Amino acid sequence: MARGLLEQLPFGRQRAVAEDNGARYVSAMHAVEMLDVELCAAQAGGASAAERHRLHTRIDEELARAAESASAIYERRFAAAGGRHHGDTDPEVELWKRRLNTVLTIRSQHQLAEFDDAGALPPSTVRLHDRAANGPHQAGLDFDLG
């Protein structure tokens, strides 16, 4: 829900939206734990690359959902605590800031782990460009238009 729209809701509804985001965060993180166990079992059991890719995708989707919920709660609590000057000392703001940072860290680590899982990602269609064959170029301005 957009930041401006949430403030337009009655206070009781604002609290319900915040509680809903909290429940979505907890639910998503629980799903990530369960999917991680399932992924480890699939890797140990020699599951197909398609099955491992499906599990990686589901984990990433749940982590994105958790990050969205944590971000919404953090922004709301930060604004309610008084913004920049008072939000940094509020324990609830700090709690959701830590949770948001944690889920973003886990998501980036998971995305790197997916690259390490041989065969889980479909083959890339990117063509490698050999710079030596085309002569000198300015760094950052190499575009393959062919």
pLDDT digits (tens, 9 = 90+) for 47-94: 888 898 899 999 999 999 999 999 999 988 888 888 777 777 888 889
For 1-11, the pLDDT digits (tens) are: 444 444 544 44
Q: How far apart are CA 42 and CA 105, in angstroms?
A: 23
Q: How far apart are CA 98 and CA 66, in angstroms?
A: 13
Q: How far apart are CA 131 and CA 137, in angstroms?
A: 8
Q: How many residues does the chain have?
A: 146
Place of tokens 């991680």: 36
At residue 5, the pLDDT reads 46
Tokens of 126: 């990117």
At residue 2, the pLDDT reads 44
- pTM across the whole model: 0.69
For 83-142, the pLDDT digits (tens) are: 777 777 888 889 999 999 999 999 998 888 887 776 555 554 545 454 455 555 555 555
Mean pLDDT on 38-46: 91
* Contacts of residue 116, Cβ cutoff 8 Å, sequence gap at least 6: none
At residue 65, the pLDDT reads 95
CB–CB of 71/96 below 8 Å? no
Angle at Cα 85 formed by Cα 98 and Cα 78, nearest 5°?
A: 45
